[in-house]
Each structure stands twice: as C-alpha cells, then as structure tokens.
Structure 1
Amino acid sequence: MNKKGSTNFLDQKALIRPVLSLLKKYKLVVIGDSEIHGVELSYWLKIRAITQKINFIFGQKQDTKENPVKNTSH
C-alpha cells in the first residue's frame, strides 16, 4: 500500500479481504501493530472466523485504556 501514516479500517479490509479469499483453505493468523484499527478490524475478522479458520492479534498503544464491558443484566 503506497501510503504514509496509518491506514483506516476500510483500507485495511480492502487489503486483507483478497488475501483471506486466496488462503481460505488454510488456518491463518493476522498480526498487526499498534497502528491497526483493532476494534473494527477485530470485529470484522471475528465475523469472518465463523466460516474460516482465522486468529488475530494486534498490538496496543501504551496510552490505550481498558474499557470493560459493564454487566447490565442486574
């Protein structure tokens, strides 16, 4: 990709989608650094993982804050 700086989710998806299609018979691991838009891309890969064997791991910036999901069932 001929681009300076970080890419957005749509760019990342456009780059990854043909690779996933090409390698759909294989177990895959997608590894990304802290410039990856992890939440959106993670969700998209999780949906794809239903029909294809995909695992993924992304780095996080040091200033990333955890936002735990609150249990609202009480």
Structure 2
Amino acid sequence: MTDRSTTYSSAEARRFHERTTLRNWSDTPNLMHYAFLHMAEFFPHAVIHRSGPIMEVGQFPRADIAGFEVESSQGPEC
C-alpha cells in the first residue's frame, strides 16, 4: 500500500475488490478500512430526495442530566 490512509495502487484495489463481500468486509482491519473508504462500491445505496425545504428541529436539553458524572476507561468526566 502506498499510503495507508487513503491511497491504494490499482493492483491493491483490484485485490480488495476480488475478495471483499458483504459477508466479510469487516473480517480484517485492512478489508474494513478499504470498505469504509469505498462504501458505495460494496453496500446497496440510493439517493433519496426530500420533498420540501429543510425543517429546523428545536433543541431541548435536559437540565436534570447536566450534572451527571460518568466514569469511563479514561477516567471520570462531568
């Protein structure tokens, strides 16, 4: 691979396409990485057009949960 983040040679791309399926795309980190970069080539998809203008959705944050403390693997966070 020439650049692990986004660039593959044509031979590498061909090999990924020959062995990647909907059943195995997440079996190895390399297959998953390639599949995420080229999702439209492996997963069914469609363009869905909206029927009108974008509607703003209000935000209603809950004050009662603002002070919850959460413990994670990185330590406590507020």
TM-score (norm 2): 0.31
Structure of higher RCO (CA pairs closer than 8 Å, 6+ residues apart): 1
Higher strand share: 1
TM-score (norm 1): 0.32
